Amino acid sequence: MKKKIVFIGPFSIPVTGNSIVNDTIFEKLAQTSSFQIKKINTSYPEFNEDAGTFSFSKFLFYLSSNLQTYKLLGAHIIYISIGQTYLGILKNALPMLLAKLFHQKIIIHLHGNELGHNYEKTSDFHKNIFRFFLKLPDKAIVLSPHLKHNLSPFFEDENIEVLPNFAVDSMIATRKEIGGKDYSTLKLFFLSNLMTEKGIFELLNALQLLQDKGVYFSTELYGAIDKKIESNIFSLIQNLGNFVTYKGIVSKNDKKNTFLKNNTFILPSYNEGMPLAVLEAMATGNIIIITQLPGLKNILIDGENSFFVKKKNVQQIAETLEKINTNPEVYTTYCEKNYTTILENFTEKKFFERFFKIIDEL
């Protein structure tokens, strides 16, 4: 008998690391004969950086997505890509309550590192709501053992599974493609949504410091921009002239080439889980500059296969870029280590071996 699964979570569009992972999981399950899969898309179509805040339009959108909970009828497993804020939990409240009523198994998948912090800083009343709903699922998935603390107030340790993200097959470069990359000059790129918490302002201010010192570089920025900060970002980009180009949202067809034509990936984010773009940058032979993130502990090591910068430290970002800029070819050994790490540990094949084991054990 086919195992019936309802997948609740954000799917593209807009495109995020979370939605790409969800798209890939859904497509794989749909192609697997032992599963029957349905989905409820909770991806709010308008991009803004104030995730977890209330608006009437969001309320109407999530109300409409909850009307699709009829799809839970007859399902064996409810798989939820869970939100990280109080409102992010509430938008999945009805499906979780119905799943318990129908005696269905619930598994939640946490794609970040903010839930624990959001839980701790909220009021006692909201903590009780968090606890009530997050004790309903049977199992939980986190991206790294170093992210378990986000769910430890709600689950026993044995019910928290570790399932790292992966580089999709189409993004893993061949040896020939890696060999054809140009490391003669710094070719920097940022690929994520251009948000305050992603460190975009620190990056642009660091690039301004380099320009003021007469350092030559080229930088490409990819991703969506919240309209509330758009004018500030474009003002900084304009000041940098030909040194920086905003390329918009990269298409699926152009994405791999974007990673291959550049050689240094930067993400000075304030907080992340296990960013998909970092794994993709590793899979395409890039030097990595990133803030130290718990989800990447033991994967990226400062001075061995990457460069760590402190959060919100403009000066350190500038100094790191200047160091690489003097001779990027010196750091190609970092790229080789990262490429090998992906091939050995973070492929779709590795991911789905672990994923199906978790599902089968429910």
The per-residue pLDDT for range 297-313, each reduced to its tens digit, is 989 999 999 999 999 99
In the block, tokens 């032992």 appear at 34
Complete DSSP assignment for 173-227: PPHHHHHT---SS-EEEEES-B-GGGTHHHHHHHHHHHHHTT---EEEEES-B-H
C-beta separation of 67 from 40 below 8 A? no
CA distance 126 to 133: 11
pLDDT score at 187: 94
The percentage of the chain sitting over the pLDDT mark of 70, rounded to a whole number, equals: 96
Q: Is the pLDDT of residue 47 over 70?
A: no
The per-residue pLDDT for range 250-278, each reduced to its tens digit, is 988 899 999 999 999 999 999 999 999 99
- With left for phi above 0 and alpha for psi between -120 and 50, is residue 348 left, alpha or beta? alpha
pLDDT score at 10: 92
pLDDT score at 252: 86
Same domain, 117 and 255: no
Q: Give the number of other CB atoms < 10 A from CB of residue 106.
A: 20
Domain span including residue 10: 3-166+347-360
Residue 49's pLDDT band (cuts 50, 70, 90): low
SS3 302: strand
Range of lowest pLDDT (5-19, 71-85, 87-101, 342-356): 5-19
Q: Which amino acid is at 250?
A: V
Same domain, 351 and 338: no
The per-residue pLDDT for range 312-341, each reduced to its tens digit, is 999 999 999 999 999 888 899 999 999 999
Same domain, 160 and 216: no
Same domain, 146 and 210: no
CATH assignment of the domain containing 127: 3.40.50.2000
- Write down the mean pLDDT value for the chain: 93
CA distance 51 to 48: 7
The per-residue pLDDT for range 337-353, each reduced to its tens digit, is 999 999 999 999 999 99
The per-residue pLDDT for range 143-202, each reduced to its tens digit, is 999 999 999 999 999 999 999 999 999 999 999 999 999 999 999 999 999 999 999 999
Tell me the C-alpha to C-alpha distance, in Å, between residue 116 and each of 17, 110, 119, 149. Answer: 20, 11, 5, 7
Same domain, 59 and 97: yes
Same domain, 88 and 141: yes
The pairing of strands 160-162 and 139-142 is parallel
275: tokens are 């960013």
Same domain, 161 and 30: yes
Residue 54's pLDDT band (cuts 50, 70, 90): low
Residue 107's pLDDT band (cuts 50, 70, 90): very high
Tell me how far the alpha carbon of residue 44 is from its chain's centroid.
16
The percentage of the chain sitting over the pLDDT mark of 90, rounded to a whole number, equals: 81
Q: What is the CA radius of gyration of the chain?
A: 21
Q: Is the pLDDT of residue 83 over 80?
A: yes
Same domain, 130 and 198: no
What are the residue ranges of helices labelled H in the chain?
A: 17-31, 56-66, 86-90, 93-101, 115-121, 124-134, 175-179, 200-212, 227-239, 252-261, 276-283, 314-326, 332-345, 348-360
pLDDT score at 64: 78
Same domain, 177 and 273: yes
SS3 110: coil
Same domain, 156 and 190: no
Same domain, 239 and 106: no
pLDDT score at 52: 55
The closest alpha carbon to 217, from 228, 229, 200, 203, belongs to: 203
Same domain, 216 and 141: no
Domain count within the chain: 2
